[in-house]
Amino acid sequence: MGKKAILGIVLTIMLTSVLTLTVDIRLAKATSYPEIINTKAAGWNPSASGNIIAFTTVEGEAGQDLNDDGDMWDWVPRYYDTSSDITTNTPATGTQPSFDGDIIAFVTYDTNIGQDVICYYDISTSTVVNTGIVGLFPSTDGNIIAFDSWEEYVGEDLNGDGDTNDDIIRYYDIPTGTITNTGAVGRDASISGGIIAFTTRPLIRYYNISTGAVVSTGAIGDSAHVSGSMIAFWAWEDKLGYDWNGDGDTNDSVIGYYNTSDSTTTYIKVGWNPSIEGHIVAFTTSEADINQDLNRDGDLADSVIRYYDVLTSIVTNTGAVGVWPSIGGDFIAFETGENWINEDLNEDGDLDDRVIRYLLLEKPLPDTMGELKTEIEEYWQTGEIDNHGIIKSLIVKLNVAQKLVDKGMIDEAKSILGDDFIPQVQELSGIHITVEAADILIKSAEYIMSHL
């Protein structure tokens, strides 16, 4: 065999090795999970907003008298700051926390009246306020706390139907100290931007604070959670009346969302207890329900955090074992039982505790041409696009498409994106544009086209 032939074989082997390594790296990146950050704080029912995660802790699990009342039997509201990695105790006792702004709303059993009442802790002033209002399951938005009250416990027919057998949605204004009775029968209130979503079984409904109108979405579901115009919820298949995921039974729970702006309902994935913020819906999925080992530990025994992007219809599996997800801007907080993952998360020498953890959301896809141009420029800086001429070419196409949109020439703009921009990215994918970057550019362009 000649030297040239041998050299050719060696080069082929080397090239194959490099390509294989590149594919392996890309596959590893594609199937990797987001980093999970352990707060090491024992806690239940996280509620996240901004950089704060509020939760309640059983003193016995923490091994401390957290509220300094001389015993270790209480449930104490606490909060963790993701920016400083500091957990702060409040002097209060209570459960069912909901956090927004500086306010942690929660429920405390008031021994003076023998009922659960709505309370709140103001982080900015370090003060606890007992409103004295009978209620459960508070939800906070700014200075408003929404909740539900059982009429019998209030001692009043709140919806005027002649009995005291109903749960009624009410809300409390912190600055004025006033209570507003919506008169709507429902449970599990969630408030955002003047909309209070709730469940009047079996339907999801909402109350508009500005108009006083109660609207039925017509969607079957439970555990409503609202953000802007979107209401996320979950529903049992047997309540929907069909096998939604086609697995031969109607035993699964399904995540859905309702858009108040166009009155549409969409069911998306198998799961329960959703949290929505903007266009991201986080939820928990039982591996057994979908017959998938989501955290790759060799069994189907776990409940795993996943999230869905309403804009792109992409579901992301985080691989994180946990329940009760709560979105706080760019992260998802959740609770994990130590025995679920066989790890002493709060380092107290046992596996008996629930511990608060969180993970960072992946960067969302650009959904405007301006954001897409910025993304392309960032890819040049990171080396994910390695030719500046390609950068200029792609940005020129986006500039042309935007000018056409500005002139009302929508079909022509779509043609630029669909017939010029996307094919160019596809042709250069894996050559001058990394596969991951190309995939994001294509999906973003497709989304923009569909919304022009």
pLDDT tens for each residue of 244-284: 999 999 999 999 999 999 999 999 999 999 999 998 999 99
411 and 288 both lie in a single domain: no
243 and 149 both lie in a single domain: yes
pLDDT tens for each residue of 48-85: 999 999 999 999 999 999 999 999 999 999 999 999 99
As a whole number of angstroms, the distance between CA 190 and CA 186 comes to: 11
159 and 282 both lie in a single domain: yes
pLDDT band, very low/low/confident/very high, at 224 (cuts 50, 70, 90): very high
pLDDT tens for each residue of 322-357: 999 999 989 999 999 999 999 999 999 999 999 999
**What pTM value is reported for the model?**
0.78
Last residue of a domain, one of 326, 360, 394: 360
Last residue of a domain, one of 321, 343, 360: 360
Residue 9 lies in domain: 1-32
Neighbours of 20 (CB within 10 A): 10
Beta strands in 287-346 (DSSP E): 303-309, 314-321, 323-327, 331-337
The separation between the first and the last C-alpha atoms of the chain, rounded to the nearest angstrom, is 62
Q: What is the largest CA-CA distance in the chain?
A: 101
Q: What is the CA radius of gyration of the chain?
A: 26
**Given a cut of 70, is residue 400 above it in pLDDT?**
yes
227 and 194 both lie in a single domain: yes
55: CATH = 2.120.10.30
Tell me how many domains the chain contains. 3
Between 84 and 3, whose confidence is greater?
A: 84
pLDDT band, very low/low/confident/very high, at 6 (cuts 50, 70, 90): very low
405 and 283 both lie in a single domain: no
pLDDT tens for each residue of 362-388: 776 777 899 999 989 989 988 889 999
